[in-house]
């Protein structure tokens, strides 16, 4: 079995530099793997093999000529199909957008191309990053590489599944209610939702603009940091974009000794009682970090249900504002889940939105207050391992059982990563979150946990 599919972006960059590997060799190997696994996993909505090979040849020539652009030069990346890549369709996994071809790269993609990254193609999502997993859309839903009968999480489903399957080392996702962190949890990879405003959403089809984030996804914490570094930065075309340069990977190698980590147990012990395997894995995470010298203490936040309800009120309102014209005239072209979820916004009242915004402010204050006592919060991401994708009742039951939406509402950075395997061999996950603009702190804790446990070296048996 080739080791190329499991190489990290950092390892690829080192191999290029040492002339042990070339971009064309890597892309050719990955394209062959994609051809073999795509029929089982449905990771791509559009693979751009000619474009990827052309970019690989260009990168190879530049690197050979000594014009090395940096750590992502010649490194393949997959892009969720709600994010524009110039010349490729942005289908949003929907009949309504199937023939829409993007005229130019999204802000984040343009930055990655400047850094020399190679776009392999567009990746499966839920319809408009909201309605899924569904079997009534123009593309089938992505499957979980750890067990293709199971859901890979969503809505950045192809991003998570493709990383776990070794189809690419880096991917872009979007996160409005947890859509980067859910596939990271289900597929056992690293998914980071940065602080609101850090990555441009220009050229990204919106779900809900005050909750939407673009985030890096990777198999290692260092790769997620490098990807974020390449695509972060101010973009005047996104009104929420902030101008706060930072060195996201600066603290990756620092130990966590003395760091104050707050363990939010109430979410998975009281508000939504987690699967015992998830609860036990979270206790193990706390024990590992304590053994590394971190100071673990209990932290309380408002009930998880309050965050979820307020997030849903705002999300469905804003999504309805985007989709109302199409929904009134082309409702039959949406998948059923999209219709059910988006129509909610049509029936919320003006006073509901005002109330939701007031509650949002209260909840944001509560999270900010927690970060006056601790440096990072440790908490659940998913309350259950991934369920079977075709078990509609299980999807409906488990989908809301998560603790990711609070940080879309409040804008705080949050990262989900693997912290174990269930008895059935499916990934278990933990979430770390930090203060506003405290991404480097979150990455520091995640990297220390990764070093101490090595879960990132476990891969599904696909070969």
Partner 1 sequence: MSPEELRALVRAARLDDVWAAFPDDVAIAAGAAEAIGRAIAGPAGPADELWPRMRPNDEPWPPMRPDDPA
Q: Are 38 and 31 in contact (CB under 8 A)?
A: no
Task: Specify whether the CB–CB gap between 76 and 117 falls below 8 A.
Answer: yes
Contact pattern from residue 410 through residue 429 relative to partner 1, giving x for each residue in contact according to CB under 8 A and a dash for the rest: xxx-----------------
Identify whether 179 is a catalytic site residue. yes
Q: Cβ(379)–Cβ(263) under 8 Å?
A: yes
Q: Please provide residue 118's backbone torsions phi and psi, each rounded to the nearest 5 degrees.
A: -105, 120
267 is a site residue for partner 1 (CB under 8 A): no
| 349: helix, strand or coil | coil
Tell me: does residue 53 bind partner 1 (CB under 8 A). no
Q: Which is nearer to partner 1, 325 or 454 (CB)?
A: 325
**Residue 78, φ and ψ in degrees, nearest 5:** -100, 150
Q: Is 122 part of the annotated catalytic residue set?
A: no
Q: Tell me which of 44, 128, 139, 196 binds partner 1, using CB under 8 A.
A: 196
Cβ at position 243, least distance to partner 1 in Å: 9
Identify the residue among 247, 368, 390, 392 touching partner 1 (CB under 8 A).
Answer: 368
Q: Does 209 bind partner 1 (CB under 8 A)?
A: yes
CB of 442 to partner 1, least distance (A): 14
Part in contact with partner 1 (CB under 8 A); list of ranges 116-124, 173-181, 348-356, 422-430: 348-356
Interface positions, 316-335, toward partner 1 (CB under 8 A): 316, 327-328, 331-332
31 CA to centre of own chain: 23
Q: How many CB atoms within 10 Å of residue 397?
A: 12
Of positions 290, 352, 422, 452, contacts partner 1 by CB under 8 A:
352
Residues 377-416 interacting with partner 1 (rule: CB under 8 A):
410-412
Neighbouring residues of 335: CB distance < 8 A, sequence distance ≥ 6: 94, 127, 131, 132, 134, 136, 137
Residues 421, 424: Cα–Cα separation, whole Å: 8
Residue 351 tokens, joined: 């006073």
Q: Give the contacts of 420 (CB within 8 A, at least 6 positions apart).
A: 277, 281, 284, 427, 428, 455
Q: Quick check: 339 binds partner 1 (CB under 8 A)?
A: yes
Single out the residue of 14, 49, 242, 286 in contact with partner 1 (rule: CB under 8 A): 242
Candidate list 8, 91, 155, 185, residue with the active-site label: 155
Could you say which DSSP state residue 133 is in? S
Out of 347, 372, 393, 423, name the contact with partner 1 by CB under 8 A: 347
Q: Binding of partner 1 at residue 344 (CB under 8 A)?
A: yes
Least gap, CB of 15 to partner 1 (angstroms) = 37
Q: What angle do CA 155, 159, 164 make, to 5 degrees?
A: 120
The only residue of 72, 112, 172, 313 in contact with partner 1, by rule CB under 8 A: 313
Alpha helices in 297-435 (DSSP H): 304-330, 336-347, 350-370, 392-398, 406-410
Residue with tokens 């930055």: 111
Pair of tokens at residue 226: 């490098």
Which residue in 91, 179, 195, 408 binds partner 1 (CB under 8 A)? Answer: 195
Please give the positions annotated as active site: 80, 155, 179
The binding site for partner 1 (CB under 8 A) comprises 195-197, 209-210, 239-240, 242, 244, 305-306, 309-310, 312-313, 316, 327-328, 331-332, 336, 339-349, 352, 355-362, 364-365, 368, 410-412, 436-437
């Amino acid at each position: 079995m080739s080791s190329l599919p499991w190489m990290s972006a950092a390892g690829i960059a080192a191999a290029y530099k040492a002339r042990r590997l070339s971009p064309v060799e890597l892309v050719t190997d990955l394209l062959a793997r994609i051809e073999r696994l795509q029929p089982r996993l449905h990771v791509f909505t559009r693979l751009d093999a000619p474009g990827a090979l052309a970019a690989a040849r260009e990168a190879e020539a530049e690197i050979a000529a000594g014009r090395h652009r940096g750590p992502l030069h010649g490194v393949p990346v997959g892009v969720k199909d709600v994010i524009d890549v110039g010349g490729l369709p942005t289908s949003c996994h929907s009949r309504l957008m199937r023939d829409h071809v993007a005229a130019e790269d999204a802000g984040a993609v343009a930055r990655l191309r400047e850094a020399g990254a190679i776009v392999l193609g567009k990746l499966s999502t839920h319809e408009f990053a909201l309605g899924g997993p569904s079997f009534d859309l123009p593309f089938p839903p992505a499957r979980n590489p750890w067990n293709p009968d199971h859901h890979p999480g969503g809505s950045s489903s192809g991003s998570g599944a493709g990383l776990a399957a070794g189809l690419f080392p880096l991917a872009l996702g979007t996160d409005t209610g947890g859509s980067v962190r859910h596939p990271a949890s289900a597929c056992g990879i690293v998914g980071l939702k940065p602080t609101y405003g850090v990555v441009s959403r220009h050229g990204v089809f919106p779900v809900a603009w005050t909750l939407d984030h673009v985030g890096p996804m990777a198999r290692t914490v260092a790769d997620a940091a490098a990807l974020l570094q390449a695509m972060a930065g101010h973009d005047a075309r996104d009104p929420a974009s902030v101008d706060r340069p930072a060195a996201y990977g600066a603290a990756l190698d620092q130990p966590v000794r003395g760091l104050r980590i707050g363990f939010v147990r109430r979410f998975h012990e009281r508000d939504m009682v987690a699967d015992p395997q998830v609860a036990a894995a979270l206790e193990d995470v706390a024990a590992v970090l304590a053994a590394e010298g971190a100071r673990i203490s209990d932290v309380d936040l408002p009930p998880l249900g309050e965050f979820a309800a307020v997030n849903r009120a705002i999300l469905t309102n804003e999504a309805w504002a985007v989709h109302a014209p199409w929904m009134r005239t082309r409702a039959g072209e949406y998948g059923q889940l999209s219709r059910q979820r988006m129509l909610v916004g049509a029936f919320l009242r003006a006073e509901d939105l005002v109330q939701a915004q007031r509650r949002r402010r209260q909840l944001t204050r509560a999270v900010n207050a927690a970060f006056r006592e601790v440096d990072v919060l440790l908490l659940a991401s998913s309350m259950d391992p991934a369920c079977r994708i075709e078990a509609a009742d299980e999807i409906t039951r488990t989908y809301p059982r998560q603790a990711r939406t609070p940080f879309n509402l409040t804008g705080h950075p949050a990262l989900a990563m693997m912290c174990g395997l269930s008895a059935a061999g499916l990934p278990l996950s933990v979430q770390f979150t930090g203060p506003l603009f405290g991404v480097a702190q979150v990455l520091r804790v995640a990297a220390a946990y990764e070093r101490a446990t090595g879960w990132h070296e476990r891969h599904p048996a696909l070969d």
